[in-house]
Every structure is written in C-alpha cells, then in structure tokens.
Amino acid sequence: MWEYIEERAIKCAEYIVATGCTVRACSAHFSISKSTVHKDVAERLQYIDTALYERTKEVLALNLSERHIRGGIATREKYISKKQR
C-alpha cells in the first residue's frame, strides 16, 4: 500500500477517535471524500493498525446507532427555523 494512503488512514482514524465525529465531518475536516474516509478507516486501517481500527470501529458503531436521532433533531430545527421566518 502507498505510504501516503497509510498516513491518511491513520490521521483520519485518530481524528475520529479523538473527536467522536462522523465520517462526513472527518471528510470535511481533511477535504477528502466520504467514501475515501470510509474506505480508509473501515478496510485499509485493519491491516495497518489493528488497535486503532478497533477503537475507530467502536466510534463509528456509536455514530451509526445515533444517526436516526441526529436526523430527527435536524428536521426539527429545520421546521422551527421555517416557523420563525
């Protein structure tokens, strides 16, 4: 694997673990696509750093379980802001 890909995967995973952010937020932070971040942390990282992969997997699982809640909050805020106009 290319060295810069390994470095990118490790940086993304460390950022996700440190902040607890989503793949979307990580991709915005590093200015790369969501699919690249996901491929890096979900597939490539497993062969680079197993311990970091496990910690990242836990954060991503938590984000997945909370996804429907964040979506509901976003929809609620959307309609509240429409009402206030």
The per-residue pLDDT for range 10-44, each reduced to its tens digit, is 999 999 999 999 999 999 999 999 999 999 999 99
pLDDT at 1 over 80: no
The fraction of the chain above a pLDDT of 70, given in percent, is 100
Instruction: Compute the distance between CA of residue 9 and CA of residue 76 in angstroms, rounded to an integer.
Output: 34
Task: Of 47, 34, 54, 42, give the one whose Cα is nearest residue 6.
Answer: 47
Q: State residue 27's pLDDT score.
A: 98
Q: Is the pLDDT of residue 85 over 90?
A: no
